[in-house]
Structures are given as C-alpha cells and as structure tokens.
Structure 1
Amino acid sequence: MSDSVLTDVVEGVLVVTINRPEARNAINTETAVAIGEAMDRLDEDRSLVAGVITGAGGTFCAGMDLKAFLAGERPSIPGRGFAGIVEGPPVKPIIAALEGYAIAGGFEIALACDMLVAAEDAKFGLPEVKRSLVAAGGGLLRLPQRIPYHVAMEWALTGELVAATRGYEVGLVNRLTPKGGALDEALGMATAIAANGPLAVAASKRILIESPEWPAAERFDRQREISEPVRSSEDAREGATAFKEKRAPRWQGR
C-alpha cells in the first residue's frame, strides 16, 4: 500500500485515508491504485464488513491532480475507474467522511459511497463546467439518483459549491457534525453496520442497488435469489440462536 493512502481496521471496519494533504488529497495514479487496492481488500477480507473513506489534513479531496494529469498520468484503474472507486465501488457498504472540500472528482468519490457524513462547514460540488469540462467520473450519473432532479440540474450546470448543510436538507448527507467530527461519526455508523450479519449486510446492499432495474413482475423472484442463501446460512441460524440465548451473535460469514 502506498503512503498516499493509509488504512486501519476498527471493529470490522476498514478506514481508508487519502493521505496527500500537501495536494489537498488530489488523486494521481499512485493514489488511485492504492484506493483500488483498499477496495479490493474490503471486498475480499471476510473479517471486514464495511468501510469508511476520508481525507487527511482537514479536507476530503480536491479531485484529479492536475499537475500529474499534465505530466501524462491517468488516475484510473481497470475495473474500478477514476480514483480506484467511481466505476467499481466495493460490494460492501462504504461511508464517506467529509471535511473541508470534496470537489470535482473528490465529490464523485463521495457519490460512489453508500452514505455521507459531513462536517457542517464542508463544501462539495461539480465545478467542471466552469472550465468547459464534464463531470464524467460518475457525478452526473449518480447525482440525480441521490437528490431531486431539479436540484441536481442546478448543481451540475452552475458548477457552484454547495454547503454540507444544504446537502443535508436535500437528503444527500446522512449526518452533519461539528468541524473535525465527520470521521468519528462515520466510524460510529460503520461499526454499527459491522455488528450485523456480514452476509445479510452485503445482500441488503446488493438488493437496494440492483432492484430499481428489475422488472416489476420479477422483483420478488430476483430478491429471493439473493436473500434465500442468507436465510439458509449458518449465520442466520446463529442470529436466531443468539437471540434465543440472549447473547451477542458470533458471525462466521457462512
């Protein structure tokens, strides 16, 4: 793992920190590769149930590193896209903890996450149009799925930065915190998720993501294909047994 990305494990949660504060955590190729490796680890390690991604030095991410781009770098990796996440987010839940700025590609990283926690003074947005560019890292695809259509159109076409408090008002931000508190709050959410059955958590996220594309007549059949293996798992039996015995469950991921 590169020094440009730091990782830590807390109670079944992988904490991923973009660690280029001198560049406002802008993404170069090295950083994209390292984030992609962290996402692979989150998906493949059975002891991990959820993840949190944040930035060092009081800011989340300023997007693509333009100096690296002008030097010929393309901070994208096969299968996961820009920043190692926007085209292939992890299968397991991941929460973005936003402090300072999350702009352009940095906002697109946040939008690739399942939940957002933001400090009250944080700001985010897609300012690409101000430079005659297009937010092609998933921002234009995901934003109208996260907030009302007309609000998404305003944000995307004006390119103006948006206050985290406004993001909370329109349902984009799950929780607001005082400055400096986003990571702790996101970690609290993630550890609450990680205390649950890992198979059930992954299956629930999959159904939430995939079901809008299912034909109405097939929804319950398709849901059953995902949910039944969990229902018949050892963990499901352990959950019922733990409830009966009034103790904490011991998940095995099987």
Structure 2
Amino acid sequence: MRFLIKQMCLLSSTLRVRPIMARNYAKDAQKKNEEKKEEEVRKNIVVEKFDAIVTLNIDRQKTRNSLDIPTLNELALALDTFEKDNTAKVLVINGEGGSFCSGFDVDELVEKGYNPLKDASARLLRRPLCDKPTIAAVSGYAVAEGFELALACDLRIIEDTAVLGCLGRRFGLPQGMFGGRRLTSLIGLSRALELLMTGRLISGAEAHQYGLGSKLTTTGTALGESIKLAKSLVKFPQNALIMDKLAAVNSQLNPNSEESMRDEAVMTSLLGNAIEDIKEGAKKFQGGIGKHGKFYKLSEVPLKDWELEETVEEVQVSKQTKPDVDKKS
C-alpha cells in the first residue's frame, strides 16, 4: 500500500513539473525565433561607429547591393538612429563587395510591384537625407535608385572605375527619390536631362568632371577617402556647419514653403549652440589655433610660442664666389 501511495505521489509531482518545463521550452523557442528574425533583419545593413563617424554599409553582395523592402526598412532605421545619436556627427554610406548600390531588387520588383518598394523608400525622400553631413563612398555600380541614393548624400567620393547612371530608364522606372531634381541641382539642366532621358552610363571620371564628385579616387579607396573627408568635418563646430548646409540645400531643393519653414526652424534651434561655438572658436583663435588660414589641428593644443610670433625673421644671404679652378698646363 505504501509503495502504491509513493508511486502516485511521484506521478503527481511529474505531472506538475511537465507543464512548467513545456512553458519554459516554449519561451526559449520563442526567444530563439525572435533572435533569428532580428539577425535576418540586420544582415543586409552593417553599421559601424568610429568615434563621431558612422559608416552604413549595404551588404547584399550577390545582387550588387540591391535594395529590397527589408533592406530599405533597415536603411531607414539606421538613418533615424544616426540622426538621434548626439555623439555621431558624419555618416558615410558604402556598399560592400565593390559596388555601391544597384537600385531596387528586380526580383522583388517583379514579385511585389513598384509601389511597395517606393513606399519602403519613403525615408530617402527627405531633403536633405539627414540634417547632419552625409558622404557617399561610390565604387562599382551606383545605378538606378543606387544612383539616387548617392545623389541624396551631401558629398560623394567616387572611384574612377565606378559606373553611374539612370538604368531604370530601360524599364520605364522614374526617378522615385528626387533623383531628377537633385541631379539638375548638381550639374545643371542640360547635362541632367541628357543622363535622365537617355539613361546613359558614365564612368567615375566623367561623373567627377560633371561635378558630381567631391574627389575622384582610385579603385578600392573610396571608403578610406570618405572617412578621411569625414574626419576633416568632425573637427568643426557642427551647429554652424549644419546651418550653412541646410541653407544651401533649401535654396536648391526645397521651394515648398512648409519644408522651408521646417529647415528655418531647425537652423533657428541650432543658433543658440552655434553662438556658444563661436565664442569658443574665438578663444581658440586668440590662443593661436587656426591662424593664417590653417585647417589642421583645430581641436588640439595651442601652437607653440615660436609659431605665434608675428615678427618677420631677418635672413642674411651671403654671396658665394665660385671656387678657383686649377688651370690646365
């Protein structure tokens, strides 16, 4: 009898434990699924931060970094995160594997149609793309919407072997991210119309000649040169830099009064901080930093005493006589 009671107690306790174990197992499985989904979402965009510089790397190398809906959603999230990060000052957009971006994913375009992709790219319609400075490191193919993404950035470092153009012309795809307006603003109406209407591809060298690139560089160096450019920007007081940038972009791209008012509000909000930066900059100048038009070492220690001297050194030049040459006998 005691043996039967003992067995019944063990069975009862087992039945109580199993549901708990089942629930824990279900939670673990759900957590693993969520982590797996997060990894799947994050795999197309790699974001890295180096002090105040952020690099956004498109990583869909098998399709030359084409943009499908998950990638566009992740791109929008990365741009918003950069904007909200007070420690991040300059964004560099790069394509992994030797190509910048080949535009919308054609397979998804066929499967889901143009409008879903267009809707997913709505974040890229902002003018400017970000209030903070943005740089495109253009290598390989920057075509169709990839060309528009490069145009949306403030500055472009272009490799001489890069290929740029409106390849969507072949399939009747319009410039969906203000590419026509941005291109016209950058290189003028005549050249812009020729590229827009014909879809002709141009090399990086020709793009630089047209005025699309801040710098022309050799194959494989666009990202490095872009980071060097970013480093030259982060040393400046950012409020005045952003104000001037927004004023320039607004004059070219935002004739709409509502958008103009937004940009004016942003610039006004930055003015107070800019005044403080001006005060600090004036003190640095008094200490010798940035004098004589120098753009380097703006955030380092003041110059040495001998560099601050404004006196002109007297240099004595003595006239040397030619040495005697032995006459030949």
Structure 2 partner of 1:61: 101
Q: Which amino acid aligns with 1:241?
A: K
Q: Tell me if 1:240 matches 2:282.
A: yes
State the Cα distance separating 1:134 from its structure 2 match: 1.7
Q: Match for 2:183 among 143, 150, 170?
A: 143
Structure 2 partner of 1:52: 92
State the Cα distance separating 1:240 from its structure 2 match: 2.2
Q: Tell me if 1:101 matches 2:101.
A: no
> 1:214–1:37: structure 2 CA closer, same or farther, 3 Å change rule?
closer
Deviates more, 1:224-233 or 1:32-41: 224-233
Q: Map of 1:201-220 to 2, 5 A cutoff?
A: 201-212=241-252, 213=255
Q: Structure 1 or 2: larger helix share?
A: 2
Q: Which amino acid aligns with 2:126?
A: E
Q: Which amino acid aligns with 2:218?
A: P
Query: Hey, which bits of structure 1, 4+ residues long, moved more than 6 A?
Result: none
Q: Which amino acid aligns with 1:244?
A: Q
Structure 1 or 2, whichever has the larger Rg, is 2
Residues 66-91 of structure 1: CA deviation (Å, up to 9, x unaligned): 2122332723557x61xx42435111
Q: Tell me if 1:184 matches 2:224.
A: yes
State the Cα distance separating 1:113 from its structure 2 match: 0.5
Percent identical across equivalent pairs? 26
State the Cα distance separating 1:228 from its structure 2 match: 4.2
Q: Match for 1:229 among 272, 275, 294?
A: 272
State the Cα distance separating 1:249 from its structure 2 match: 4.3
Q: Which amino acid aligns with 1:85?
A: L
Structure 1 partner of 2:126: 87
Q: Match for 2:158 among 111, 118, 122?
A: 118
Q: Tell me if 1:40 matches 2:83.
A: no
Structure 2 partner of 1:153: 193
Residues 11-52 of structure 1: CA deviation (Å, up to 9, x unaligned): 311110001101110001111111111111221111111111
Q: Tell me if 1:9 matches 2:49.
A: yes
Deviates more, 1:67-76 or 1:134-143: 67-76
Give unmatched runs, 5+ long, in structure 2.
1-40, 258-263, 290-297, 301-329
> 1:44–1:76: structure 2 CA closer, same or farther, 3 Å change rule?
farther
By relative contact order (CA 8 Å, sep 6+), the higher-ranking structure is: 1
Structure 1 partner of 2:307: none
Residues 118-158 of structure 1: CA deviation (Å, up to 9, x unaligned): 11100110022222232222211211111021111111111
Aligned mates of 1:130, 1:76 — CA distance in 2: 18
Q: Structure 1 or 2: larger strand share?
A: 1
What's the TM-score once normalised by structure 2's chain length? 0.67
Q: Which amino acid aligns with 2:203?
A: A
Q: Which amino acid aligns with 1:118?
A: I
Deviates more, 1:41-50 or 1:105-114: 41-50
Residue 186 of structure 1 aligns to a residue whose secondary structure is helix
What's the TM-score once normalised by structure 1's chain length? 0.85
Residues 101-121 of structure 1: CA deviation (Å, up to 9, x unaligned): 000000000010011111110
Residue 96 of structure 1 aligns to a residue whose secondary structure is strand
Q: 2:82, 2:91 within 8 Å by CA — same for their partners in 1?
A: yes
Structure 2 partner of 1:219: none
RMSD: 2.5
- Corresponding pairs, count: 240
Aligned mates of 1:137, 1:214 — CA distance in 2: 16
Give unmatched runs, 5+ long, in structure 1.
216-221
Structure 1 partner of 2:314: none
Q: Which amino acid aligns with 2:282?
A: A
Q: 2:45, 2:59 within 8 Å by CA — same for their partners in 1?
A: yes
